[in-house]
A and B are shown apart, each in its own frame.
Chain A
Amino acid sequence: MADIATVGLELDVSKMRQGGAIARAELERYAKVAKLTTEEQRKLNESFGVTGKAAGSAAIGIKEVGTAATRTATQSLTVTRAFSQMRGGALSLAQGIIGETVPGVTQLTNALGTLAGGAPLVVGIGVGIAAIAGAFKLLTTESRHAKEALDEIRASLLDMTKDTRQQLSFQLETIGVQLADAEERLRRAQQGRLVSRGKVGAVQVVDAAEVQRARDAVADLNSLLIRTTRQLDILDREEKAKRQAAALRDAAEATRKWREEAERLGREWQRFLGTSKTGTLSDLVLTPSEMRNRLRLFNQGVRQVGFTGREQELRERLGRILVPIERATEQTIEAAQDLIIVADSMAAAVGNAFEVWVTGAKSAKEAFRDLIASMLRDLARLAIQRAIIEPLSRFFLRGLVAGESRGLIPLGTTTSGPASASVVPTGAPAVAGIGGVVNMAVNFNVAALDAPGVAALLQQQSGTIATIVGDAARRSTGFRRQLT
């Protein structure tokens, strides 16, 4: 309803369509015209739901509407909308992860495949870099896991939305002022009945006029009595109190479900945060500022509605429910910021290392040393992102070992491939940061390589690299904790 109803009636006439009096009357008229037998008429009635004692019932659903019910419905709608926004945020997050990571990995893989296939001399480079592609494929797998987790979150939010709509909009609609007023109205009505009886007994009959006045008074009092009796009927005393108590219990049960769902949501978010490794979080659709806005809207959605009396209790319960969700959202924001930092930094380090390596600005040894030192600094700084960093750490360690286990051919100092090669992967123009890894235009100048070959380099320099790793680990207590 567009208006805020303060008093009124709401009628549900859905029963009239199936098995109602109008249907029955219409069917009876048709039966007379068509001269149906009793059996035919019975089947026809059944097809329209007109059966048994309920047939011909003109009953309609009816209930009073008021401020409390409207406020509860508004509150329910606001919470539902807030959850819907959260669901939208989660989906945006998933879409951002999937939409950004997968194309990036594909692009990188294609670029590296072209690199490996088009330059026989740098097969070692290709295979080595292919390991990077493998790592990014790992990110793809993890992003799928994240998507699954977000799907579960989405399902939970849908359940909560449904639960909100059903539990709060309809069950709590009868709670509030009606419950608070029930005893008061009942006491007032009973008091009115007693007063009426007392006045009737106190009338003194003196003469005919007095008798007439007494009769009028009795009539008036009887009218008052009828009204108060009707009020008593409206209240339906104990039975209504029981129903409202049951509704309160249902509300408490719904609140408990909310709390459980919220806690489960928090756990899901934690799991999501612990397993997702995107590598392209700076391009996420949902930025931290947007997430904060959603959190603020979420809070406002609950707080903007005024509460009085017993609804205060409900508000406090809702507030407690929101705590784990807010915490999970804050953690998401922090994790997203950390991920953006580490992803940007690592991508820049990788890009710079390979750039200076292949362009000959630095030797491979220096490039790798700078690269690994940079990586270690990032790893140490972001020790809290254990689940995300460890696979990358393993990759670098594994990548060093992989050069040996895959039996790379030492290429020696003689170059037999093209003197230079230019590989420009398809995609967007070269950009800095993460995009620089994926879309960077790589210019090869094999002659500039001062090492006998990457495979040989890795084999020969593994001790050096291990020393660098060890030194960095010793320098950084944070990274040492990370490794242990």
Chain B
Amino acid sequence: MAMDDGSRDIEKIKKMLDRRIRDFETQIGDAVLTSIRDGSSITSAPGQPVVTGELRDSFKFVQIGTRLRVFSSLFWAPFIEEGSRTRQFRIAGQRAGLLGGLFATKRQLTLRSKRGGFHSVKLTRVNIQPLVDDIVRKVAQGG
């Protein structure tokens, strides 16, 4: 490697790398958003159940620096994610005593939508690596 051209080449690599990283950040954000919102065969996430579309449309993708966040602000989104109202009843049950705690363990939600399902966020998290590998492959081949 010619050293006089080396530094120039390294700068070019850095620029190219920055571009690729930006592409990756955008694509991984979109992919995670799609996985959580609409489902993904890679992560096996079912996506959000749709009745009015409010929950599905509530998921957003925000990037601050090197941190990407896909999230929903709906107060009931965690219960769809968990598939139960256990948490709320459990807290109430703990305060009420043993009987309330037992009562709290049997509050599973019923999935009425033909689309989507529960646990999309968790399934996306578990299977994030195949998703990342797929996007890295696409981005690396993109140049």
A residues engaging B (CB < 8 A)? 1-14, 16-17, 20-23, 25-27, 29-30, 34, 36-37, 40, 44, 47-48, 58-60, 62, 64-67, 177, 180-181, 184, 187-188, 227, 230-231, 233-234, 308-309
Which of A13, A17, A37, A65: most chain B Cβ within 10 A? A13
Q: Is the CB of A16 within 8 A of B21?
A: yes
Q: Nearest residue in A to B60 (C-beta to C-beta)?
A: A3
A40 & B1 in contact (Cβ 8 Å cutoff):
yes
8 Å CB contact of A3 from B21, B71, B84: B71
- The reply to whether B9 and A13 contact each other, CB–CB distance below 8 Å, is no
Q: How far does the alpha carbon of A36 sit from the alpha carbon of B69 in the complex, in Å?
A: 39
Residues 59-91 (chain B) with a chain A CB within 8 angstroms: 59-60, 62, 64, 66-75, 77-78, 81, 84, 86-87, 90-91
Which residues of B lie under 8 Å from residue A4 when comparing CB positions?
Answer: 73
Residues of B within 8 A of A (CB): 1, 9-10, 13, 16-17, 20-21, 24-25, 28-29, 32, 36, 59-60, 62, 64, 66-75, 77-78, 81, 84, 86-87, 90-91, 105, 119, 121-126, 128-129, 132-133, 136, 139-140, 143
Instruction: Tell me whether B64 and A1 are in contact (CB under 8 A).
Output: yes
The answer to whether A6 and B74 touch (CB under 8 A), given A17-B66, A58-B132, is yes
Query: In the complex, A21→B20 CA distance in Å?
Result: 11
8 Å CB contact of B78 from A6, A36, A37, A40 = A6
Residues of B within 8 A of A47 (CB): 10
Residues in A with CB closer than 8 Å to B25 are: 13
Instruction: Supply 4 further A-B pairs (C-beta < 8 A) apart from A10-B69, A65-B69.
Output: A9-B71, A11-B128, A27-B13, A230-B123
Contacts of A20 in B (CB 8 A): 136
Give the residue name and chain of the B residue nearest to A8 (CB): B71
B25 to chain A, nearest CB (A): 6
CB distance from B98 to the nearest CB of A (A): 14
A22-B68 in contact (CB<8A): no
CA distance A37 to B1 in the complex (A): 8
Interface pair B81/A7, CB less than 8 Å apart: yes
Q: Which B residues touch A25, using CB under 8 A?
A: 136, 140
- State how many angstroms separate the Cβ of B2 from the closest Cβ of chain A: 9
Interface centre among A12, A44, A58, A308 (most CB of B within 10 A): A58
* Contact A22:B21 (CB < 8 A) given known A230-B123, A231-B119: yes
Residues of A within 8 A of B32 (CB): 9, 11
> Contact: B20 with A26, CB < 8 Å?
yes
Rounded to whole Å, the gap between the CB of A154 and the closest CB of chain B is 28
Given A17-B66, A26-B20, A8-B36 contact (CB < 8 Å) = yes
Q: Which residues of B contact A40 (CB under 8 A)?
A: 1
Chain B residues positioned under 8 Å from A233 (CB to CB): 126
Q: Is the beta-carbon distance between A14 and B10 smaller than 8 angstroms?
A: no
Closest to A29 in B: B143
Contact of B126 with A30 in the complex, beta carbons under 8 Å: no
